[in-house]
Amino acid sequence: MTFTYDPATLPGKTRLYCQDTVIADAIFTDAEIAAFLDANNQNAYLAAADALDIIAASQAYVLKVMTNNGLTTDGAAEAAALRETAKTWREKAARNTGTTDTGVTIVTSPDDEYLTLRVS
């Protein structure tokens, strides 16, 4: 499994936002992170949101309600928290559409009066 983490890169930001930053506890390969980015137009917020949704849906990562030695885990609550974080990243991506923060560019309408050629 290939795992790299550099928060200065888009894959690294994606890992940071979905908290997949420790190689010993790695959830996704570099190829999987790249696939999330490809599916989301290189937007790290949306890629991380997709990663969090997959983690939330996976029974391998989200335990059912269990109590062991006085410690209780609640998989449903954990999944809900992960989905809420994914929602937050999607909202942030929507707010930043058209900025350098998302990799999306605003394209102005060619009918915009300020873009038309003016001949004097």
Whether 105 is covered by a domain: the verdict is no
- Reported as a single tens digit per residue, the pLDDT across 76-109 is 788 888 888 889 889 988 887 765 554 444 455 5
Q: Which residues constitute the domain of residue 75? A: 10-95
Whether 33 is covered by a domain: the verdict is yes
Q: What is the total count of domains within the chain?
A: 1
How many of the other CB atoms lie within 10 Å of CB of 10? 16
Q: Residue 57: its pLDDT value, please?
A: 83
Q: How far apart are CA 17 and CA 81, in angstroms?
A: 14
- Reported as a single tens digit per residue, the pLDDT across 22-42 is 999 999 999 999 999 999 999
Mode of pairing for the β-strands spanning 71-73 and 66-68 = antiparallel
How many of the other CB atoms lie within 10 Å of CB of 89? 22
Whether 69 is covered by a domain: the verdict is yes
Whether 31 is covered by a domain: the verdict is yes
Decide if 44 contacts 50 (C-beta within 8 A): no
Whether 88 is covered by a domain: the verdict is yes
What is the pTM (predicted TM-score) of this model?
0.67
